[in-house]
Each structure stands twice: as C-alpha cells, then as structure tokens.
Amino acid sequence: MRSTETTVAVLPIDAAEVLSDAAPAQLVTIVAIAADGSPLVVVDADGPVIAARLAVRTTVERVQMAIDERQPAVVVFERGDRSRPLILGFLEPLDMNPLSSEAASAAPGKRAEAHSPSDAPESQAGEPAVMPCIEADVDGRRVRLTAQDEIVLQCGSASVTLRRNGRVVIRGAYVETHSEGTNRIKGGQVQIN
C-alpha cells in the first residue's frame, strides 16, 4: 500500500507577513543618479524619490540612457519594504537584428562603433557601413571570441591577427617573448630573417 506524503512549510509570523506584503516585480522610473552613484527611482507616480540598489551589473551610461529615454526598470523590494527597491534590470524590447541595431550598443558590456573608413565595408549608398564591435567585460576563467573569417587584436601599431585558414600574424614595432621554461619555435619550416 502506497502512502501520500505532504510537505508543509511553516513560516515564522513575521516572515509570513513580509511575504504577503511583498509584491512581485514592479516597474519604476529612474529619475536621476545620486552623488554616490545610486539610481534614484520613483515607485509611484506621485510618490517620493527613493535611492535604489542594483542587482545587475551595468554602467552609468546605461542608467543615464534609461533616464533620458524614460525606460522602465524592473524592481523588487528588499524584505517587502517599498522604501528599499532593488533594480533587477531594464524593460527591453526584443531586438530582432542585434548586429545592426544601436540598441545592442546600449547593453552592458557591448557597444557598436565604427572602425576606420579604410577597414569598413561600404554600404549600398557608397558610405562606409558601421561594423559591430563587441566589447566583453568578463570576470570568468575563460574568454572565447569566435569570428567567421578573422579576429584582430590591435593597440596602436601592434596587432595579433587570427585568420580562418589557420594563419596567425603578430606585428609590432618591437616583439618580445619571455618564458620561465623552454621557449620553442616549431614549424614545418622555420625562417629567421
């Protein structure tokens, strides 16, 4: 014979009151940035301006864009206290074409920027097209960049180019290598000068 078990959670009285008063996520308007960098929000249309905390990594520029465009932010309230909003993110439209959209440039960690006119492909109107450039702010242990044809890391006159055919080109005014152990050069053929 099988028995059916039921599990019941018993909350302390004060916790149950907090949960019953807490609303799920709510939309607010960010109206300014405080001197300490906290976003200032208006929870209710006629309510006071309240300092909020961020639960999402973002930039001052992104928050300022939300202010300028009056873009709603999604908040929850810490322990159900409406005077302690916690911003979870911004209400975003679905971007159907992220590589050509300026909206992708506003996302944290990403931006679109034009390269030099000699590098940029031409648009149908004959003007240089804006090429998307993804900027990664990564705190993980591994970063992987993938491209269809070529990846170029460049700073001033120094560059490292990885090509689809397997060719790696390192250029610079002065190139040096350091190794704690053996520094090997291997290849089908090794040419020096």
- In order of start, what are the domains of the chain with their CATH numbers? 13-90 (2.40.50.140), 145-177 (no CATH)
Q: What is the pLDDT of residue 31?
A: 93
Q: What is the pLDDT of residue 98?
A: 56
Q: What is the pLDDT of residue 91?
A: 85
Q: What is the pLDDT of residue 7?
A: 52
Distance separating alpha carbons of residues 56 and 46, to the nearest angstrom: 26
Q: What is the pLDDT of residue 118?
A: 43
Q: Following DSSP, what letter does each residue of 58-126 receive, concatenated?
A: --HHHHHHHHHTT-EEEEEEGGG-TTSEEEEEE-----S-TTT-GGGGGSTT-EE----TTTSPB-TTS
Percent of the chain predicted with pLDDT > 70:
63
Q: What is the pLDDT of residue 97?
A: 61
For the chain, residues with pLDDT lower than 70 are 1-23, 95-142
Q: What is the pLDDT of residue 51?
A: 93
